[in-house]
Homo-oligomer: A and B are copies of this chain.
Amino acid sequence: MALVVQKFGGTSMGSIERIKHVATRVLEEKEKGNDVVVVVSAMAGETDRLINLVKEITAEPNERDMDFVVSTGEQVSAGLLSITLNHMGHSAVSLTGWQAGIKTDDAFTKARILSIDTDRIKNYLKQGKIVVITGFQGITESGDITTLGRGGSDTSAVALAAALNADRCDIYTDVDGVYTADPRIVPEARKIDVLSYEEMLELASLGAKVLQIRSVEFAMKYKVPLRVRCTFTSDEGTLIKEEDETMERVVVRGIAHNKNEARITVERVPDKPGIAAKLFDALAEANIPVDMIVQNVSVDGYTDISFTVEKNDAPKAEKITRKVAEEIGAKGVIRDDRIAKVSIVGLGMRSHAGVAGKVFDTLAKYGINIIMISTSEIKISCIVDEKFTELAVRVLHEAFGLDKNE
């Protein structure tokens, strides 16, 4: 007998009809003889409805009361699912975040889970009950309701799985797993059956539609096997788990792309210590996260520094960069919003040479110029002109044989 945590998102819970279908997925697991804890999001559209009510009052509500209001969405859906399960003749009970013992810090609207007191859940499981818990929320030390930020229900599910020492955490969603590339771009993309936490984190931009990154980090930290599967089909989905010896055999696991970044280049920066620090400190102070940073070897006492930020942040980042550039006597600042990041990811890169060369050759063969390069042990990312995004993904997908069975 296993303990399984299941998480259902807002689309899966989007209507009474769908909640009834979710109930059948819960019962499938229960009828295997497993203990089942279910974590649910608010019904699709409900959180937005609540936020819009608040926005009618003010664009800047106090965040404690905001969480107080918004957390009700999951309470409704959890209650409805429990009512459905009970109506179908099974014993179920609904719990809010605080009833489930989920303690968080007091960073309202984006709280972090500190600990989970699982006594009450375990008691219900011992009584044979299915326990339905509101995702996305918890309670502070002083008894205030918090939310974990958008998509936080995935984190709730993984944290509960970790605290309960569950055998598996299944994230049910409207896609049937993680793919070798975005299937809308590469029709030959295959569903990945199994991959490691590290690979999943690097494939963030594929997984972001499916999984909140924080929940993968959490699962990795606590070694909770995570499965992404579809609410509406019986496909086994994608399993994300600890690296094992078979995994390194696959050189490239998948290809991710991201059109949501912009590049900023500072030209002819005097190559003196502390210059880069000055720039990135200023950006950090303005709360602008920087993704890739590339600086070339200086040839004549001057160097170029390029970095990427989210497109939303680009205008503000450019302004700050111009100010710093002036102070440090750089020649100028160029901003380019029409770029894309294409990344190939795979544990096998660690032990296989020549992967980078093959990436560059492949892109060159199709006339795709590489603007920036950044690598990690299991990833190679290239910044290319935005117009080449789909082409780059497709030719790399083919070059590394991702359309063929592993």
Contacts and interface: CB of A to CB of B under 8 A. Distances in A.
A25 interface: no
Given A66-B79, A72-B76, A57 B87 contact: yes
A83 B56 contact: no
A87 B61 contact: yes
A284 interface: no
Contact of A143 (B53, B71, B76, B120): B120
B65 A94 contact: yes
A83 B61 contact: yes
B76 A50 contact: yes
A322 interface: no
A69 B75 contact: yes
A53 B82 CA distance: 13
A3 interface: no
B94 A80 contact: no
A57 to B, nearest CB: 5
How many monomers of this protein are in the complex? Answer: 2
A86 B108 CA distance: 16
A49 to B, nearest CB: 10
Contact of A69 (B20, B79, B93): B79
Nearest to A72: B72
B54 A83 contact: yes
Contacts of A92: 65
Interface string A72-104: 100110111011101100001110100100000
A57 B83 contact: yes
Contacts of A72: 72, 75-76
Given A68-B96, A72-B72, 5 more contacts: A19-B57, A50-B76, A54-B83, A64-B93, A66-B79
Given A99-B143, A120-B143, A143-B99, A62 B76 contact: no
A21 B183 CA distance: 52
Given A65-B79, A86-B65, A57 B94 contact: no
Contacts of A65: 79-80, 82-83, 86, 92-94
A267 to B, nearest CB: 46
Contacts of A86: 61-62, 65
Interface in A194-213: none
Nearest to A84: B57
Contact of A78 (B57, B68, B71, B79): B68
A16 interface: yes
A16 B53 contact: yes
Nearest to A23: B57
A298 B99 CA distance: 62
A405 interface: no
A233 interface: no
A58 interface: yes
A184 B405 CA distance: 80
A16 B61 CA distance: 14
Nearest to A16: B56
A302 to B, nearest CB: 52
Contacts of A78: 68
A68 B82 CA distance: 10
